[in-house]
Structure 1
């Protein structure tokens, strides 16, 4: 197994949070899950993808984890297709948005490691709430979210059959 992939997940376990702060209130937890961050880092810069379901702000967001590069390429193509105007204008828009994803494919400078990802990118994302059908019900959407806002996750995509 590639040692670089193994190293992504060699983070120490999370330290226990203090029961209360100095003012006597419960501490605010804003720490990003190091394991999920490692999965995102592993996917970024590759063509790999992985089904995930995230708990975010009381909703479940389920879709396919993709690299930032693939996300911006897909969003660029979708925006260009929906934009009125000449083919030249559409191509410029697609190209401009797609270039935003180049940061995910650039190698790290010198001996500096690449910074840890702060955002997660899903394709064909759908949103699930208690007792409801997925939104949207027809097709999934491109979705980008802050890793620090994810409360929990599991591997796999939710699906409503029937």
Structure 2
């Protein structure tokens, strides 16, 4: 029988966090300087190709409200339209009360407008006006959008 080897006594598993791309992590905050800033990009996320205009959080939030008002009906539209600002307000209240500490860190999300998503086979394209994704999930990117 094969002898079973034990792990060294001081062994500790290493947790590896996703490494953010420094260039993309710096490009995203530059868009925040002026809401007119936008740039076409192509991202690879979990095997899917996602492309569109990289926009700031504030532009995404504003366009999200417009999209919601155009595409949703009923009494809850006004409440839903105020949702992004409500989240920002609560976050700021927690910061002001000292209950939430905000560190100057790289952005955590990326926002796109006029988005196309190509699945694994690239035979199906899904189009959306807006998309928000975790920056840490982006495994590759390029400036510009594909031309076929």
- Asked if TM exceeds 0.5, the reply is yes
Q: Which residue matches 1:74?
A: 63
Of Structure 1 and Structure 2, the greater strand share is in 2
1:98 Cα offset (Å): 5.1
1:126-137 matched pairs, under 5 angstroms: 126-136=116-126
* 5+ residue gaps, structure 2: 1-9, 90-101
Within 2, Cα distance between the matches of 1:84 and 1:45? 34
Query: Gaps spanning 5+ residues in structure 1: where?
Result: 1-21, 104-111
- Bigger CA radius of gyration: 2
Q: Secondary structure at the match of 1:78?
A: helix
Map 1:1-162 → 2, pairs under 5 A: 28=16, 30-47=18-35, 48-85=37-74, 90-94=77-81, 96-97=82-83, 99=85, 114-136=104-126, 139-160=127-148
Root-mean-square deviation (CA, aligned residues, Å) is 3.2
1:131 Cα deviation from its structure 2 partner? 4.4
Q: Is the 8 A contact 1:51 1:64 kept in 2?
A: yes
1:56-92 deviation digits (Å, cap 9, x = unpaired): 1111111100000111111111112222226xx6445
Q: How many residues are matched?
A: 127
